[in-house]
A = this chain, B = another copy of it.
């Protein structure tokens, strides 16, 4: 048995204990995690400093270095987030329907944990604790597989969390880290059938597609975001410009940022005259179809075919004119990733039609796509944003980390 299979076996065994541990014990463990990460933050910072030094030596880009870096303040933020998870309601054990059948059987459907959740993520050490806290609260054992660059930080975080779990009377295997960060172990994790109930990749589109293609364990695809803003012929153009500016520029690296503007052709010129000065603040590159190019001249460049499916995660926007809303809807359904889509319009019927016909996790009328987020949606926290239709869609909070079990009370019934 390989080290990872053995880790899977231990995780599965721990999952039976955690599934029935009860809210008080799970909260006590979360509080112990918050405490140990505070009290021994220097150990965590020291491990992180080693990661940083290695990354600098390897020539990592400043933006990536920043994501990798822990500070006292960032650790306080991480600890605070754990406290917020303590405060969230526990979804486990809720019976969401129960009835007595004609034959007297009492059949109830009870919320239970998924079991063992594996998470593959990139170089952000905060994810290690965030993900573990959400899994723990929802009764799930987690197997974490972080990026190679953060391995020392992640090892220390996992070590501290496992100590905290034990001190709270839960198996330390409720949280474990894949120690060998190789391509082989990532691949093995995708095939740990029988031990891993769900695998959630968190990271770039390349990682997610590779995992979905390769894995034999069930996968939840998250965070692929080619989001559109459709500015209708009957839009309030000032509102539309503010929404587009926010959706593109407030944080272009995230999955709910807009990548493509669709604008109704009759108002395209008037709208672009309003929107471009805002986009100029961040020198947003505009990649346009012919008609938009004719309006924008030197301010724009011609779009290539690939631009209509691109997730830039950067200050770049694809711009395309459309005859009307139905063309916009068809284009979105053909080129979107099913994440977040918005229409700006004053027309009631168009608004309703867009909500009905666009096939995405979150469909907006007159608001920025940037709101697709567990916190903004009132879920308290999120483990990712599902862009698939199976199991969960949109921001995944604690409830989305559960499954169900039918419990049946009989008195000797046979069929």
Contacts and interface: CB of A to CB of B under 8 A. Distances in A.
A266 interface: no
A6 B391 CA distance: 27
A197 B390 contact: yes
Contact of A393 (B236, B361, B377, B404): B404
A415 B250 contact: yes
A376 B106 CA distance: 11
Nearest to A244: B414
Contact of A414 (B243, B351, B404): B243
A16 interface: yes
Contact of A408 (B107, B212, B365): B365
A364 B365 CA distance: 47
Interface in A80-123: 99, 101, 105, 107, 109, 112, 114-115
A410 interface: yes
A366 interface: yes
Q: How large is the interface on A (under 10, 10 to 19, 20 to 34, 35 or more residues)?
A: 35 or more
A370 B413 CA distance: 10
A70 interface: no
A243 B389 CA distance: 39
B412 A359 contact: no
A414 B246 contact: yes
A407 B372 CA distance: 11
A52 interface: no
A236 B410 CA distance: 13
Given A114-B390, A213-B216, A366 B410 contact: yes
Interface string A343-376: 0000000010001110111111111101110001
A93 to B, nearest CB: 9
Contact of A415 (B213, B371, B412): B371
Interface string A317-355: 000000000000000010000000000000000010001
A218 interface: yes
Contacts of A365: 408-410
Given A368-B414, A389-B197, A415-B368, A363 B19 contact: no
14 contacts: A19-B356, A99-B378, A198-B389, A213-B216, A245-B414, A250-B415, A351-B409, A363-B406, A365-B408, A366-B413, A367-B410, A368-B410, A372-B406, A393-B404
Interface string A235-266: 01001001101110010000000000000000
A101 B371 CA distance: 11
A114 B389 contact: yes
Contacts of A201: none
A405 interface: yes
A71 interface: no
A357 B113 CA distance: 12
A388 interface: yes
A414 B364 CA distance: 12
A84 to B, nearest CB: 16
A370 B405 contact: no
A415 B359 contact: no
Contacts of A213: 216
A220 interface: yes
A243 B367 CA distance: 58
Q: 3 smallest A-B Cβ distances: which pairs? A: A367-B410, A246-B414, A389-B403
